[in-house]
Amino acid sequence: MAEFKVRGARKSYGEEVIKGVDLDGGDREFVAFVGPRKIDVAT
């Protein structure tokens, strides 16, 4: 049995792009937090 909680997550790249996100995950749940794909990044 496992669970997790994230409260008030923030991320910035010179400008705040994630503003206080809360996530909860319970036993046997799958949680994904995704954003837009940057297709202009050189590999």
d(CA 10, CA 7) in angstroms, rounded, equals 9
Task: Write out residues in the chain with pLDDT < 70, as ranges.
Answer: 35-43
Q: In the prediction, which pLDDT does 7 show?
A: 95
Q: In the prediction, which pLDDT does 22 show?
A: 92
Cα–chain center distance at 20: 10
Domain count of the fold of the chain: 1
For residue 29, being part of any structural domain is answered with yes
d(CA 34, CA 41) in angstroms, rounded, equals 17
Q: In the prediction, which pLDDT does 30 show?
A: 87
For residue 40, being part of any structural domain is answered with no
Q: In the prediction, which pLDDT does 43 show?
A: 56
Q: Looking up tokens 């705040």, which residue turns up?
A: 16
Q: How many CA atoms lie within 13 A of 6 on its CB side?
A: 11
Q: In the prediction, which pLDDT does 41 show?
A: 58
Q: In the prediction, which pLDDT does 38 show?
A: 64
For residue 14, being part of any structural domain is answered with yes
For residue 42, being part of any structural domain is answered with no
Q: In the prediction, which pLDDT does 42 show?
A: 58
For residue 7, being part of any structural domain is answered with yes
2, 27 Cβ separation under 8 angstroms: yes
For residue 41, being part of any structural domain is answered with no
For residue 39, being part of any structural domain is answered with no
**Range(s) of the domain holding residue 26:** 1-34
